[in-house]
Chain A
């Protein structure tokens, strides 16, 4: 800012002084000699003073400027624009199977993207959105595999786009990306999750305590050992990405089946020692469209990006129910 002030004054004096000189010469013809001389003198003095100040400021600031220049360019603070040539990048094709919501039809679109060893499918899609086609709808948020937004089918496998490295997945420089078909389609790669959330809600997730005042006015921590926590911990990793539902063959043929995600959450709370709902929680899913709907295909556990193992959880629920049944028969 200061340097530019100096430059403005420099230009101003280059233009201004000749004009004033010219005015002075002309004014002699009209007898305004004294006035114009004073004007010229004042103006010149002003220009000199401002010029000196500007120059001094530039001089003082040279130190800081020098400091910035001295810094090696690569190490500089801002992110450097990357040299595009010969730095391990490859051009790849991303084939996006988009859902056209107005014509209710799917169509393939091919985008060319530059990728390097760190490019994920999500970062490639976002690159397409910001540089080539902003109309491409994608759902995303954390880009680190914890929010569960970016579930889609990549090269035929339901996966999180942010956790899928492009180079790992590449066959013939091409990657196919499709929306999850196990959820209603909204637009392009985005699916509707209302039904999925409904399923999750239907099993009444959440820690149940008989005494609500004790629950919300917690005074002391629960008495839990590490082993108690380890019993439910693996099932509490669910990020609600919906991939298991997409992969489940049962739910895709019988929508009434409650699905692997919700059932795994039933087990998560059932296995928690602090939960007091007990067998009631189990009996709610003791139906043909509940735990008994599961045919143990195991696809849910295979696609789960967080290693939750819903299929295992459902079998454990079946076991718990059998135990309960046996107990009732004895009693």
Chain B
């Protein structure tokens, strides 16, 4: 077709092509930008919109389609004390369970905020259209979950996260103040002297760059469990937001704590929800024994995840596990066969469907092969209880920057999260931050800044160079090395030698990453470039995990070190803060906020 066009016109087209595709960068102004479209990000955007009576312009940026964020994969439910009288429950008990589960590293003032607001959020989501499971009286049903003393997890079958996401997305479509950017990848945050000025992003579909100028930014990009190869998370859980914050000089907290979910399907790592055990499933070893009675006599399969994961790994190591011939992975059995088929179909339909489709196994008639997989990262961007991103240990907060959800470390989960507390965290802090950001913007209008625009252009050039560069390293090979190192040395059990080795290897991988080669040179849907950016984030974060983990000489929650099997409250009852230094990283510590619950031995 292009041949039929007049010659001068063709030149003009080529020029136009260059202008659009190569040398251009749009500038857009927004009152608020929310990065990440999971439950945390969408809730924040919605509450900012409602608080401002739909007067703000809000950008919601997602690197995938907004309704497909990893929150859709949340299965089990959302915790909250809905019926204190009927369930013999109280907010105090919920807080105690959470703090004990966190191995006393959770900030107790934050936990109190969580338990106080969680029930309200369950009702809020119902009014957006989430079909919570009901009992015969029409009350919202609550199920048992690991580490919770009573039934307090509301659920919608085993697709809770999916229903919440769909309800939120449908709700957002009717709010015209929110502009959703599907498949846009933020590549850098522009922060000057602790003040947010804007960000640079790429439209993955077209490859065009945009500089977004704004005075308020909420990071809600989720965790980074994809640094492990055996993980329950989506391919999108790569911790981009956390890496962006780190690169912008903002501090990260407790990054060494990675939660391993005890029951992920072998060999794919697909999550089998804790609700399966909440509904009564057993964990069985090769000798046919319910081995959890050795490890947590009172709670059995419903002990917190760190304890169950360690139990499974110990059983496999002691030779009482099974082994998958194809993948070489050791596993134990999750047995649902004694459960009523009708109960499985009503409350656990998705895991039944997945096991059938992926493995050809029906959990109603056969036990499922499971082993612990990376599931959640307790650590994240250091925020205070209001969701503001802090500037360091013991200093004030950054201006115009918030973090919500898994990417933030408030911290309510301490060193080990209890199942179903994450959905409550996302929705509770989504509301808190959404309201705060709307109020902030009402009083602070963002001005134009030359520095910000220059920095955005610098970033644009960096992306250009990444694309046109002639490096020699294959990013995918580096990624495999990263995952192998993490799985080998920073899994459920860690040892000093292994962690030191991991740190060495990871810093080598990180320096090799500077010389990567991107084969796809086209700008349209350049998934190769997107992968490289994601792998860059993960390479950075993997090293930070090793740095912090190596220093913590105790076993607390998800961080279990062979040489130091005990919790050491005298020296280590403190949060790790890691921040970018002039050369390498800078590590400091800050105290844990303790209000009502003094640390006690953690026995279940």
Contact = CB atoms under 8 A, between A and B. Distances in A.
Interface of A: 1-2, 61, 64-65, 67-68, 71-72, 74-75, 77-83, 87-89, 101-102, 116-118, 120, 123, 126, 129-131, 134-149, 163, 165, 186-188, 190, 192-194, 197, 200-201, 204-207, 209, 214-216, 218-226, 229, 232-233, 236-240, 265, 269, 272, 274-275
Given A79-B487, A216-B127, A226 B136 contact: yes
A141 B234 contact: yes
Contacts of A117: 326
Interface in B117-149: 120, 122-124, 126-129, 131-132, 134, 136, 138-140
B423 interface: no
Interface of B: 50, 64-65, 67-70, 72-73, 82, 120, 122-124, 126-129, 131-132, 134, 136, 138-140, 159, 162-163, 166-167, 170-171, 173-174, 182, 205, 229-230, 234-236, 267-268, 270-271, 313, 316-317, 319, 321, 323, 325-330, 350, 353-354, 357-359, 476, 479-480, 484, 487-489, 491-493, 495-497, 500-501, 504, 518-520, 522, 524-528, 531, 562-563
Contacts of B504: 1
A205 B123 CA distance: 19
Nearest to A118: B267
Contact of A78 (B70, B128, B484): B484
Q: Which of A77, A120, A143 has the most CB of B within 10 A?
A: A77
B67 A240 contact: yes
B357 A131 contact: no
Contacts of B563: 64
A2 B563 CA distance: 15
A74 B322 CA distance: 10
B235 A140 contact: yes
- The 9 closest A-B CB pairs, nearest first, are A78-B488, A80-B328, A207-B129, A130-B476, A205-B170, A147-B68, A135-B520, A218-B123, A206-B170
A80 B68 CA distance: 31
Nearest to B527: A137
Given A74-B328, A77-B493, A206-B129, A135 B519 contact: yes
A220 B123 contact: yes
Contact of A142 (B123, B234, B489): B234
Contact of B476 (A134, A190, A200): A134
B317 A75 contact: yes
Contacts, number: 227
A121 to B, nearest CB: 12
A87 B594 CA distance: 54
A143 B500 contact: no
Nearest to B134: A226
Contact of B140 (A74, A221, A240): A221
A82 B170 CA distance: 44
A8 B11 CA distance: 65
Nearest to A130: B476
Contacts of A236: 129, 131, 163, 166
B520 A82 contact: no
B528 A82 contact: no
Given A141-B235, A238-B166, A186 B67 contact: no
Contacts of A219: 123
B328 A118 contact: no
A320 to B, nearest CB: 19
Contact of B501 (A1, A87, A187, A206): A1
Given A147-B72, A165-B357, A229-B134, A87 B162 contact: no
Contacts of B316: 75
A207 B72 contact: no
B357 A221 contact: no
Q: Which of A102, A126, A139, A236 has the most CB of B within 10 A?
A: A236
B68 A225 contact: no
A201 B50 contact: no
B354 A218 contact: no
B131 A229 contact: yes
B124 A146 contact: no
B388 to A, nearest CB: 24
A145 to B, nearest CB: 7
A192 to B, nearest CB: 7
A141 B64 contact: yes
Contact of A209 (B124, B127, B270, B329): B127
14 contacts: A68-B495, A72-B319, A78-B491, A80-B327, A118-B326, A135-B520, A142-B73, A143-B270, A204-B174, A206-B174, A207-B127, A214-B127, A232-B131, A236-B131
Nearest to A3: B497
B182 A197 contact: yes
Nearest to B267: A118
A218 B527 contact: no
A138 B531 CA distance: 12
Contacts of A118: 267-268, 326, 358-359
Given A137-B526, A143-B268, 14 more contacts: A78-B489, A82-B326, A101-B522, A101-B524, A116-B326, A118-B359, A134-B531, A135-B520, A137-B525, A142-B234, A147-B72, A187-B525, A200-B173, A239-B72
A71 to B, nearest CB: 6
Nearest to B126: A221
Given A79-B229, A144-B271, A218-B127, A193 B313 contact: no
